[in-house]
Chains A and B, each alone.
Chain A
């Protein structure tokens, strides 16, 4: 963290509301602050607004940017003139890796973001190689996305975000449909990345294991937030929200 910007939060959401075109209210006055380098879990039942919130972080929603944006990333408001800068800073990991990997080869896909930012030649080569190395896929450049496993695809997606040198990662269900090894590797990777992360997930164990703070959303509003070991341990409330107390918090003996 550079001196002078230490007091700027990675993400600041102030009283954000959003209504889909069909009238469904997806977010109701959501406020959320994430410090630089902090990992925050975002949990809640299906339809609680987790993905909708993530799409706001890099300006994909609302469709027409509002005049008074409720979201700030690293001190920069998410508004039309700043979108280029915002999208470079916020890496969005989509739920289905096949949506995110749209290039013919892994190399081209990882290079897509930096190319949009004007990185070319040796610098581009270096960035792509470094990002692939970071996710443990060095040498995968010439592989074709359709020949990768689910976990590998997810890691290529992540490399594509790291190649943009994103300082905030917004991850939508990063561990869904990963096998235990894929999940373990992804968890280790997320823990090793020194950038702010917002992890929307149903994987409550992941939240307990990786996040210092959890935010619970229900029907578009923040219900409660705090340390996962406290918030998620409240069994009655968890069941009421359609969630459950993570197994890892049930026993105090080592597994």
Chain B
């Protein structure tokens, strides 16, 4: 789970992989904007975008299975948002259009992150003069997400090894403790990381 979420990059040497990261990021952004701007019932337009994305996937030699799995993982969020439109009048068509649009955007992002390393995307943001604070925050988040998830997994495992009854209340309380502990440990780690950054000349 954790690896699939955090390593969206699908290693490969295809033409798509070798293309400059800036070009790919720009293309992806343009495609997303175009999809969003398409009129609601422009099904031909949706089909054209889908065909283009299929071509990109083929060029990137990313197996459909891998793509489908990543999209399915994210699709519940899309469904949740799109389902809101069902409540309004004529909501069915809006629902379908929203579903199509968000799935296309999702595919674009999955393909971008599948063919471009996150660190390269960060460098693109850096070159585009996105505020340094934001880029640094993204970089740190990307770096420490896996450390945190490992820590949470270790704590949960240790907790479970000492949990003997199956009571739900107790389990919830256990999870709450793990979450609280994780928060405390993260803020302590943040201090140590900051000290380590200063030790190598940050802000002096």
Q: A residues touching B (Cβ–Cβ < 8 Å)?
A: 55, 58, 60, 83-84, 87-88, 90-92, 94, 96, 98-105, 108, 112-113, 116-117, 142, 144-146, 160-161, 164
The residue of chain A having its C-beta at the shortest distance from the C-beta of B198 within the complex is A60
Given the interface pairs A104-B142, A104-B143, A145-B143, the reply to whether A113 lies near B196 with Cβ below 8 Å is no
- Interface 1/0 per residue, B62-90 and A, CB below 8 Å: 00000000000000000000000000000
Q: State in angstroms the CA–CA spacing of A63 and B140 once bound together.
A: 24
Closest 8 pairs (CB-CB, A-B):
A116-B201, A113-B200, A104-B119, A99-B192, A92-B199, A146-B146, A100-B196, A83-B204
Known contacts A108-B119, A116-B202; 13 further A-B pairs (Cβ under 8 A): A58-B199, A83-B204, A84-B204, A87-B204, A94-B195, A96-B192, A98-B189, A99-B195, A100-B196, A103-B139, A104-B119, A105-B117, A113-B200
The residue of chain B having its C-beta at the shortest distance from the C-beta of A108 within the complex is B119
Interface residues of B in 157-204 (CB under 8 A from A): 189, 192-193, 195-202, 204
Interface residues on chain B, number (Cβ under 8 Å): 24
| Beta-carbon contact of B139 and A99 below 8 Å | no
Which of B119, B122, B195, B196: most chain A CB closer than 10 A?
B196
- B196's contact among A102, A117, A142, A146, by CB below 8 Å, is which? A102
| Beta-carbon contact of A105 and B119 below 8 Å | yes
Shortest beta-carbon distance from A239 to chain B in Å: 32
CB<8 Å pairs between A and B, sample of 18? A55-B195, A60-B198, A84-B201, A87-B201, A92-B199, A99-B196, A100-B193, A100-B196, A101-B143, A104-B143, A105-B119, A112-B197, A112-B202, A113-B200, A116-B201, A116-B204, A142-B117, A145-B143
| Beta-carbon contact of B199 and A87 below 8 Å | yes
Query: In the complex, what residues of B have CB within 8 A of residue A113's CB?
Result: 200-201
Query: In the complex, what residues of A have CB within 8 A of residue B199's CB?
Result: 58, 60, 87, 90-92, 94
Shortest beta-carbon distance from A127 to chain B in Å: 13
| Beta-carbon contact of A94 and B192 below 8 Å | yes
| Beta-carbon contact of A102 and B195 below 8 Å | no
